[in-house]
Every structure is written in C-alpha cells, then in structure tokens.
Amino acid sequence: MLYLSHSKYSDINPDMIYRELGDTGLNVSVLSFGASSLGGVFHDFEESKGLEAVYTAIEMGINLIDVSPYYGFTKAETVLGKALQNIDRSKYFLSTKVGRYGTDIEKTWDYSGHRAIESIHESMERLNVDYIDLISVHDVEFADASQVINETLPALWELKEAGIVGHVGITGLPLPILKQITAEAGEGMIDTVLNFCHYSLNDDALTDDIEFYKSNGVGIINASPLGMGLLSERKTPIWHPASEEIKTACRNAANHCKSKGYRIEQLAIKYAVDHPDIATTLVSTTNRNNIRKNVEWALAPQNEELLAEVLDILAPVHRETWENS
C-alpha cells in the first residue's frame, strides 16, 4: 500500500502547528518523527507496519524525520529509505547523524572528518535521497570536544557549502557539553542542538540554556518526552538507566493519572510541545495509531490541574538524570 505518492496531500492535517527551527529557515512541526523505532531498538516489528507509521506521520502534518545509522545499525535508515521512496521530497525535512555506528556485536564511535563524509554518502544511499536537510554529530559526549570542533564540524560544513546538506547540528544527553561545543565552535557553526530527556515532566533542565541558544540563532530539538519510557503506563524498560527513585516517582505519577482516567503520556506529550522556544519534539513508534494519538494529544488543550498534581509528585526527583550509554 503506497501513501502520499500522488493525491493524498489533501489529507495532510491542517491543524498541525509549525515553528521555525532557529535561524535555519525550516518551519518544522511541533511534533516530529523519530525513526529509531524503525531500527527495532525498542522491539521487533513488521516492516510494513513501520512504513505505515511513516506515511501516517506525514499525513498527520509531521514534516521532520530524524534517524541515524546507529539505530538498528543501519536498519532504521534502510527501512525509512523504503518509505521515503513513496513520499514527495518536498513534504519532509530529513535529519540524520554521524559519529555513532556499530553492529549487533559491538558499538563503535568515529568522529573523524573522513568517516563523517563517508557516512553521509552511505546514509543518503540507504535513505534514497541526494540531499540531507540536517546532519548532526551524534552524542558528542562520547567524542573529544576538540575533534568535534576542529574536524567533524568542518567536514560537515564542506558538504553544506557543496549543497549536499542544508544545516549542521550536534546531539547529546548532557547539557553542558552541547553548550560548550556550541560556544567554542564559533558563531554560525552550529545550526541546531538535539537533546533528550531534559525537557519532560520530570526534568526541565533544558530550559536553563534556551536563551543562550536563542541568542546564537540555534534551533532546539527535544527528544524523549516520555523519558525513554519512564512516563508511561507501561512498565519501565529493564535496561533504563534511571535510579529506582526516579522510576518509582514516575510510576506513582502514571498511576495518579490513571486514577483520574487520564494517560500520563498525553500529559507528557502536551507538556513537551507547549514550550514556544523549543521548535519540535521527537516521538518514535512503528504503530500508525500511536502516531495519530500523539498528534491529537499534542494539539489538544492541556489538563492544567492534573499537570500541577503530577509535577508535585515528581518534585522529589526533579532534574535528576543519568549517563548516556
């Protein structure tokens, strides 16, 4: 079943909200599609269902798709590439990354300029595109900051100047390293930052750096509004690196929402997209119905009374975090 290859554009959600991504000129949907799920990083899935999730995201008004060669060790890019063959290139912005790779046997990191350029061409082949709207250095906390600044970013800029990529960014979990590299790289070298788990119900630390990024014209992409599964009615994944205190507080918050006939996921999604200075928030799923639900939640009014109650429950673990792995 092919979507969006011909006349389906009239079905695209007219209610979606868009914000400018820093000074990039890209107007992105407040909710974006994170394609990590297409790599099977959360659970196995039927490929056809994954393709349907991508098509549904576009139909719902989502126009930014984020992926990486690291997700599923190239599987996510490969599956996404099959979907993109059936979607008009003007209907989405595409973001992928360099620096993190691996196989089923081991993870690898390579932030060299040569590997970055090589990786981008490999990604474009898997994705069936000849242009990447946004290329980011993936999880810079695993790299030497000086190499990112003096080697990785200049290599990406070569491709930007050649018209192969549109914009250059960095991603990571710890906030200080993102701010440090942005400051030390120099004016205009970084167009976007992608941070995860620091603008959610239990942790809003990202807000401390928003004015810095705004003053530098850097667009902000938020990811993991559910705290990688913490803010969910489902059981927190066994692999989750959060402390037991954080897990318990989030479970209590989820149960409180459930007792009120409300899903904490809805509260969390709406909370994440409501900040006017965060351009977009990534969500990832291979279930088309979940995409629809997430968009509906993002556009619905917030339950302010319940939000206050949940923030109070989470106050004891507010801004407590963990290391990336």
Catalytic residue among 70, 71, 111, 199: 71
Residue 109, beta-bridge partner list: 100
Q: Quick check: is 3 catalytic?
A: no
What residue has token string 């990336």?
Answer: 324
Distance separating alpha carbons of residues 184 and 87, to the nearest angstrom = 38
Residue 310's Cβ-side half-sphere holds a number of Cα atoms within 13 Å equal to 30
Structure-token pair, residue 33 = 């599609």
Residues 6+ apart with CB under 8 A from 136: 95, 96, 97, 98, 168, 169, 170, 171, 192, 194
Are the C-beta atoms of residues 284 and 101 closer than 8 Å to each other? no
Closest by CA position to 292, among listed 2, 38, 61, 120: 61
Structure-token pair, residue 58 = 């576009």
Instruction: Please return the burial class of 62, using the count of CB atoms within 10 Å of its CB with bins 0-12, 13-18 and 19+.
Output: buried
- According to the 3-state scheme, what is the secondary structure of 149-208? HHHHHHHHHHHHHCCCEEEEEEEECCHHHHHHHHHHHCCCCCCEEEEECCCECCECHHHH
Catalytic residue positions? 71
